[in-house]
Structure 1
Amino acid sequence: MTTKMNFNKKDYEKFQSLDELEKEIFSKDEIKDIHTRALKRSKTRNEMTEALSKALIQYMAQNHLGFNEFKKQLHMSSATLSKILKGHSNVTLDTIAEISEVTGLKIDLHIGSRF
């Protein structure tokens, strides 16, 4: 990567947006690569959060748990559990481990080739 990172606070103030700063620091090809990788990460993250959401909704149905009872079991706020169930939460590994511990669900993380 080509970087010109010798900026001080005054240098940053001249930029009106992050896009302008990005263009100053990176080449067009580097920007395209950064954006492509970010989209791939976002897609993968969305797939994982959707899988967790579906598993928890199924768990709640199978165990006849309402939202409020389930959030108490998980020691989570309504907002946090709601985001997880909607697939809108970027959950931490610690949160996933806690969910597994409370529910007894085995949550696997498979690392390997996608091919």
Structure 2
Amino acid sequence: MTKMNFNKNDYDKFQTLDELEKEIFSEDEINDIHARALKRAKARNEMTEAVSKALIQYMASHHLGFNQFKKQLHMSSATLAKILKGNSNLTLDTIAEISEATGLKISLHIG
């Protein structure tokens, strides 16, 4: 990757981040950065979707309503709603807390 030293005045000449990006990186580098970002986003979405589906199944099999489940998990309504919709950027701590509160075994397969 290209490294350039910019000061505050240099940044003022750019109207958008796209313009700055084009100044710093080659077209190939930009395409690579964007492709890697899309790949990470897809992987993150697949993981959050898997957690969401597992929790919805857990709620159904244990006949839990939303309010009961949020109390069991010690979560706010907003946090649980985001998780159930698959719109949460889950941390490892949150996943561990969910596992502990539900007894669900959550595993990560790499490879």
SS at match of 1:111: coil
The residue type paired with residue 106 of structure 2 is I
Shift of 1:3: 2.1
Q: What's the offset of the Cα at 1:90? A: 0.7
Partner amino acid, structure 2, of 1:32: N
Partner of 2:103: 104
The CA deviation at 1:13 is 1.8
SS in 1 for 2:43: helix
Counterpart check, 1:67 vs 2:66: yes
Q: In the alignment, which residue of structure 1 is the partner of 2:21? A: 22
Aligned residue for 1:57? 56
Map of 1:33 onto structure 2: 32
Give, in whole Å, the separation in 1 of the partners of 2:8 and 2:42: 34
| 1:9 positional shift | 1.4
5+ long unaligned stretches in structure 2: none
Instruction: Provide the C-alpha distance between the structure 1 equivalents of 2:2 and 2:7, rounded to a whole number of angstroms.
Output: 18
Compute the TM-score of the two structures, normalised by the length of structure 2. Answer: 0.96
* Aligned counterparts of 1:62 and 1:81: Cα–Cα separation in 2: 18
Q: Report the Cα distance in structure 1 between the residues aligned to 2:97 and 2:75, rounded to whole angstroms.
A: 10
Tell me by how many angstroms 1:21 deviates.
0.8
Q: Which residue of 1 aligns with 2:82?
A: 83
CA deviation string 1:62-102 (max 9, x = no partner): 01111111111111111111010000111000000000000
**2:39 counterpart of 1:46:** no
The list of structure 1 runs, each at least 4 consecutive aligned residues, that deviate by more than 6 angstroms after superposition, is none
Give the Å deviation of 1:31.
0.1
Distance in 1 between the 2:69 and 2:22 partners? 47
* Equivalent-residue separation in structure 2 for 1:11 and 1:101 (angstroms): 51
